[in-house]
Amino acid sequence: MPFSPTPIADLQLFTPQVFGDERGYFLESWNEQTFAAAGIDRPFVQDNQAMSPRGVLRGMHRQTGEYEQAKLVRVVSGEVFDVAVDLRPDSPTLHQWFGVVLSGENHRQLYVPRGFAHGYLVMSETAIFSYKCDNFYAPQAEAGLRYDDPTIGIEWPELDVEFTVAERDLNWPLV
């Protein structure tokens, strides 16, 4: 099975089978049957893509209420340190985080269920980050938490550049 469990229930790491030859490679980044067999049976309704340079930190984002989103995230090119924080109120892993390197080379993807905050740090010169969502973006339901919240204690990789963080991401509350 191409799925690996993480220390946080329902958060799953997917490593697709890659078929390579002298022409390059081919992989299935999404197959409804494969994901349903692993318990991920989401009706993805929106795909998003972002390009960012080294040191950009996007997060920690989520949507609330009826607009919560599950996401399937991956990197098309470059490399990021990807993080999900469990914010499900009744979860035994509430406020725990999981981080993993996703890259255009390792092809890994992270399934982030509803109830998590999500963010990433670009570690390569640039990165193209792509993700599927199971609910449409709703600006009125946007929420987040600080990427450097001491209660959460995310251990971001050290880079030789200062992090570039959007003003709104600097103003998210602590948990």
Rg for the chain (alpha carbons), in Å? 16
Closest to 74 (Cα-Cα) out of 5, 142, 28, 137: 28
**CB 78 within 8 Å of CB 162:** no
Residue 41, classed as helix, strand or coil, is coil
Distance from C-alpha of 174 to C-alpha of 133, rounded to nearest angstrom = 25
Amino acid identity, residue 40?
Answer: I
Task: Verify whether residue 131 is a known catalytic residue.
Answer: yes
Task: Verify whether residue 111 is a known catalytic residue.
Answer: no
Of 111, 120, 131, 147, which is the active-site residue? 131
Of 61, 111, 120, 147, which is the active-site residue? 61
| Catalytic (active-site) positions | 61, 131
